[in-house]
Amino acid sequence: MIDDDNHFSPDEPFSDQVFHRFLALMRQKRQYARQIETEQGIKPRDFSVLRFLLEVGPATIGQIQTFLHHSPSTTSALVAQLEEAGYVTRSRSESDNRVVIVSLTAVGLQIAEQAPFGGLPLLRRRLSRLTEERLGEIDSVLAELMQLMESDAS
């Protein structure tokens, strides 16, 4: 078991220590998500889109879809909800009328700037700074965890 300082009991099997570290990571993710929802009144996935737009500027639905790893219809529905809430605007590209550009509103910008930077957005940023070799090692471990959990997500 992990105590308050993240130390393990010396008599605890190493497999349990690894499992408890994984649980601590999941708990931290949930706590960050609850913090964003409580403080900003926005769901974590919605916040991720606002943070993405803050970092990259106006983006297409396709770029947001790629960022979220969701289907086009799910992404379009999410953007529509964000627009209805007043966090983003949608407009047509001047160069190609088929392309929809999503931009932050003043309210969306304020939420994206004021919310604490942590959880999955922080992980995404820090992973992008790792070497290809280190990312390969992490990917291998995550793939093995998925297999151990019999997850079919890809």
Q: Which of 122, 56, 59 is nearest to 90 (CA)?
A: 59
Q: What number of CA atoms fall less than 13 Å from residue 37's CA on the CB side? A: 9
Distance CA(125)–CA(82), nearest Å, equals 23
Q: SS3 for 97? A: coil
pLDDT tens by residue, 79-136: 999 999 999 999 998 999 889 999 999 999 999 988 777 777 788 889 999 999 999 9
What pTM does this model have? 0.72
pLDDT tens by residue, 25-68: 888 888 888 888 888 888 888 988 999 999 999 999 999 999 99
Is there a contact between 104 and 50 (Cβ–Cβ < 8 Å)? yes
List strands edge to edge, sheet with 59-60: 59-60, 100-104, 88-92
Measure CA 148 to chain center: 23
